[in-house]
Amino acid sequence: MKVGAVIITMGNRPEELRALLDSVAKQDGDRVEVVVVGNGSPVPDVPEGVRTIELPENLGIPGGRNVGIEAFGPAGRDVDILLFLDDDGLLASHDTAELCREAFEADPKLGIVSFRIADPETGITQRRHVPRLRASDPMRSSRVTTFLGGANAVRTRVFADVGGLPDEFFYAHEETDLAWRALDAGWMIDYRSDMVLYHPTTAPSRHAVYHRMVARNRVWLARRNLPALLVPVYLGDWLLLTLLRRPSRSALRAWFGGFREGWTTSCGPRRPMKWRTVWRLTQLGRPPVI
């Protein structure tokens, strides 16, 4: 199976980007073709053979990745698998691409693989980086209902079936939107602890727009994808969880602003998932109410 890789960058981590590209170039098996997308910024110097695209403006994470997908032909059809990697990450092993090929070849219904993210210094995987509710053991691989945006592999037929990432989200929850659409189309998602991306430990709240976009996109996610009966349940649960986490007053104000924005602005096309998909998500350990 042909493997490609999409990396988006703001141009501000040239050394980390070069190290990531070197780790991709060292993958076993056939060469992984790479496209680096400068998301509203110039692309730093890259090795020969790496394609680059420089966008005149920042399209956000999903928008930038969608441009990278289309660089491999409509819906990425020029390759069979696309890796999506954060520009400050590093593939920990030379066999990650080969493990992806083996996984997708062995399971025709496997659509997405989520890698394990580990801190390069400590080897620790943050709980939030294990895409399931029972996240205490990051070394346990399993079927899951979502995936990690900057450390994953997607069979390109998924994009042909359900479309790309939601451009309008800009940042936050775009992976779950794609995951739910893929699951509704019959694809499955695996979390693989043996496919590792090294990435420095960070807090998502480091982004200035984090609280607003997390709340807004959570509403959009529900409005776009859930049966009408589940929308208030899902959003009510997340409202309660947010309050229980006791964010700062400024963070809570931003969160409620985003929550209101999610209801008052267009969320894009609404395609509620089938009830059998709701049941499948429940069987996989995460019913779409949390």
Asked whether the beta carbons of 124 and 116 are under 8 A apart, the reply is no
Q: What is the pLDDT of residue 205?
A: 53
Residue 206, pLDDT > 70, answer no
Q: What is the pLDDT of residue 204?
A: 67
Looking at the structure, tell me whether residues 177 and 230 fall in a common domain: no
Looking at the structure, tell me whether residues 188 and 242 fall in a common domain: no
- What is the C-alpha to C-alpha distance for residues 166 and 49, in angstroms, rounded to an integer? 29
Residue 144's H or E segment, with its range, is strand 142-144
Which are the contacts of 283, defined by CB distance < 8 A and separation ≥ 6?
A: none
CA atoms within 13 A on the CB side of 46: 26
Burial class from Cβ neighbours inside 10 Å (0-12, 13-18, 19+) for residue 229 reads exposed
Confirm whether 289 is domain-assigned. Answer: no
Query: For 30-45, how does the pLDDT look when each residue is reduced to its tens digit (9 = 90+)?
Result: 999 999 999 999 999 9
**Which residue range forms the structural domain that includes residue 249?**
208-284
**How much of the chain exceeds pLDDT 70, in percent?**
98
Asked whether the beta carbons of 210 and 242 are under 8 A apart, the reply is no
Confirm whether 290 is domain-assigned. Answer: no
**How much of the chain exceeds pLDDT 90, in percent?**
96
Looking at the structure, tell me whether residues 24 and 124 fall in a common domain: yes
Query: For 61-98, how does the pLDDT look when each residue is reduced to its tens digit (9 = 90+)?
Result: 999 999 999 999 999 999 999 999 999 999 999 999 99
Looking at the structure, tell me whether residues 163 and 232 fall in a common domain: no
Q: What is the pLDDT of residue 57?
A: 98
The first and second tokens of residue 48, run together, are 């020969």
Looking at the structure, tell me whether residues 181 and 77 fall in a common domain: yes
* Structural domains counted in the chain: 2
SS3 190: strand
CA distances from 280 to 55, 117, 140 (A): 39, 26, 20
DSSP 171: S
Confidence of residue 207 (pLDDT cuts 50, 70, 90): low
Which residue type, as a one-letter code, is found at position 93? Answer: S
- Model-wide pTM > 0.85: yes
Looking at the structure, tell me whether residues 120 and 167 fall in a common domain: yes
- What is the C-alpha to C-alpha distance for residues 34 and 49, in angstroms, rounded to an integer? 8
Kindly report the number of other CB atoms within 10 A of residue 45's CB atom.
10
